């Protein structure tokens, strides 16, 4: 691949969760069938439709043929293989069970993909409705209202304050559109820069967790992913501290990332996992108490799997609650919007028609 093509691919093409899940599953199937790792990677290169993934796998194949371990080869490409992926593969290599851990990894990635899809699906409907409302509003204020304004002026009729407000907004959008563009772009740039900063991420992530209903869903999501991924890594034989560090890197909320980093350091100094988790109110008592039981009985993997199943179900219920709550809220907003437009435009037209008649 030419350098220019490689630059274009890395700039505009991404490897998503679905690509990683497919890769892990195919790798697991081929390794279980007794295929050598180099031949399995070569086969994956031929099967993948993602050019970036194909390019990365090509580099991995070269490293494997040069004698590098699979885990060391994929570690060079963090944009495709995260810390969890690398740690689990390294554990499989150390225990001689690469096919087994590849299956565990595939199961985890497929569950995570389905998990994310359900959450995104729950947010698509309200997002679509809001986008449709904005589109209709823009058409109204840029096409319909200017034409009606001329009619109202010629008739000299007295207009209600709502109609005057709509006309003012319309004229400002038409005559000073560049101000709106500058404010939106400038404001978006400032907000994005702040949210990208450490303080911004911490503040925004903390606020999101406090949002009614939605915050509960986010907490359940983080607990489900933490317990599921941590349990999978324990099952794969990854050392506890390394597993905690890896899980911290793949969680979405920065507060949970920081908390798990502290927990890992405490465990490194000899503190039990449950005791370290109890110091932070981000982890509910159910999680800390169950993990404490798992540590005491030597069944931490099984406990984490049960917790993951519980919090996945809780997240599904939170998604249903959000969906059920969103519909009436959207209907109310749409109803208010329609009422405002009717009062602002239809009523003056009706009065004008009455005067003319």
Q: What is the CATH number of the domain that holds 325?
A: 1.20.81.30
CA dist., res. 236 & res. 90, Å (int): 10
Calculate the CA 241 to chain-centre distance. Answer: 26
Q: What is the CA radius of gyration of the chain?
A: 28
Q: Is the dihedral of CA 228, 16, 20, 4 positive or negative?
A: negative
SS3 content of the chain, % helix, strand, coil (to 5): 85, 0, 15
Q: 90 in a domain, yes or no? A: no
pLDDT attached to residue 186: 94
The answer to whether the beta carbons of residues 86 and 250 sit under 8 Å apart is no
CA dist., res. 5 & res. 51, Å (int): 10
Residue with tokens 């505009």: 12
Q: 217 in a domain, yes or no? A: yes
CA dist., res. 108 & res. 137, Å (int): 44
Domain boundary among 59, 81, 103: 81
Domain boundary among 81, 102, 133: 81
pLDDT attached to residue 7: 46
Q: Which of 233, 228, 222 is nearest to 306 (CA)?
A: 228
Q: 88 in a domain, yes or no? A: no
**Under 8 Å CB-to-CB from 33, ≥6 apart: which residues?**
none
CA dist., res. 192 & res. 204, Å (int): 11
pLDDT attached to residue 4: 42
CA dist., res. 152 & res. 155, Å (int): 5
Clarify whether residues 41 and 139 are in a common domain.
no
* pTM (two decimals): 0.73
- Three-state DSSP at 357 gives coil
Residue with tokens 């569950």: 111
Q: 33 in a domain, yes or no? A: yes
Q: First vs last Cα of the chain: how many Å apart?
A: 75
**Under 8 Å CB-to-CB from 295, ≥6 apart: which residues?**
272, 273, 274
DSSP string, 216-255: HHHHHHHHHHHHHHHHHHHHTT--HHHHHHHHHHH-S-HH
**Under 8 Å CB-to-CB from 199, ≥6 apart: which residues?**
none
Clarify whether residues 326 and 189 are in a common domain.
yes
CA dist., res. 38 & res. 78, Å (int): 20
Clarify whether residues 138 and 252 are in a common domain.
yes
CA dist., res. 106 & res. 31, Å (int): 12
Clarify whether residues 150 and 37 are in a common domain.
no
Q: 102 in a domain, yes or no? A: no
pLDDT tens-place values along the chain, 357 residues long: 444 444 444 555 678 878 888 888 898 899 888 889 999 999 999 888 888 889 999 999 999 999 999 999 999 998 888 888 888 888 888 888 888 888 888 888 888 777 777 777 766 777 777 788 778 777 777 777 777 777 777 666 667 787 788 788 888 878 888 898 999 999 999 999 998 888 898 999 999 999 888 888 889 888 988 998 898 888 888 889 988 998 888 888 999 999 999 999 999 999 999 999 988 788 999 999 999 999 999 899 899 989 988 998 888 888 777 777 777 887 788 788 778 877 777 777 776 666 555
Q: Which residue range is the domain that position 20 belongs to? A: 3-81
Token pair belonging to 146: 């200017």
Clarify whether residues 143 and 191 are in a common domain.
yes
Q: Is the dihedral of CA 192, 194, 198, 199 positive or negative?
A: negative
Q: How many domains, in total, are found in the chain?
A: 2
Q: Is the dihedral of CA 73, 79, 83, 84 positive or negative?
A: negative
């Amino acid at each position: 691949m030419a350098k220019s093509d490689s630059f274009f691919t890395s700039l505009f093409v991404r490897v998503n969760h679905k690509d990683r899940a497919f890769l892990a599953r195919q790798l697991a199937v081929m390794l279980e069938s007794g295929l050598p790792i180099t031949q399995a990677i070569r086969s994956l290169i031929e099967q993948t439709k993602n050019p970036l993934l194909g390019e990365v796998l090509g580099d991995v194949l070269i490293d494997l043929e040069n004698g590098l371990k699979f885990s060391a080869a994929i570690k060079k490409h963090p944009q495709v293989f995260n810390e969890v992926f690398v740690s689990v593969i390294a554990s499989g290599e150390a225990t001689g069970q690469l096919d087994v851990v590849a299956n565990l990894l595939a199961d985890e990635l497929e569950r995570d993909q389905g998990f994310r899809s359900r959450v995104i699906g729950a947010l698509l409907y309200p997002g679509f409705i809001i986008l449709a409302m904005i589109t209709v509003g823009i058409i109204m204020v840029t096409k319909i209202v200017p034409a009606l304004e001329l009619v109202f002026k010629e008739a000299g009729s007295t207009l209600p304050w709502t109609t005057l407000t709509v006309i003012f907004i319309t004229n400002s959008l038409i005559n000073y559109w560049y101000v709106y563009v500058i404010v939106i772009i400038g404001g978006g740039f400032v907000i994005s820069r702040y949210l990208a900063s450490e303080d911004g991420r911490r503040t925004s992530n903390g606020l999101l967790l406090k949002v009614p209903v939605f915050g509960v869903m986010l907490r359940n999501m983080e607990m489900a992913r933490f317990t599921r991924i941590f349990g999978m890594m324990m099952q794969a034989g990854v050392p506890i501290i390394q597993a905690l560090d890896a899980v911290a890197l793949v969680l979405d909320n920065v507060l949970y990332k920081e908390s798990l980093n502290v927990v890992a350091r405490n465990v490194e100094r000899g503190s039990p996992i449950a005791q370290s988790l109890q110091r932070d109110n981000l982890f509910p008592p159910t999680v800390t108490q169950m993990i404490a039981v798992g540590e005491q009985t030597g069944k931490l993997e099984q406990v984490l799997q049960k917790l993951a199943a519980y919090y996945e179900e809780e997240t599904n219920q939170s998604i249903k609650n959000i969906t059920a709550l969103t519909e009436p809220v959207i209907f109310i907003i749409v109803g208010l919007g329609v009422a405002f437009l009717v009062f602002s435009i239809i009523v003056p037209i009706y009065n004008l028609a009455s005067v003319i008649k």
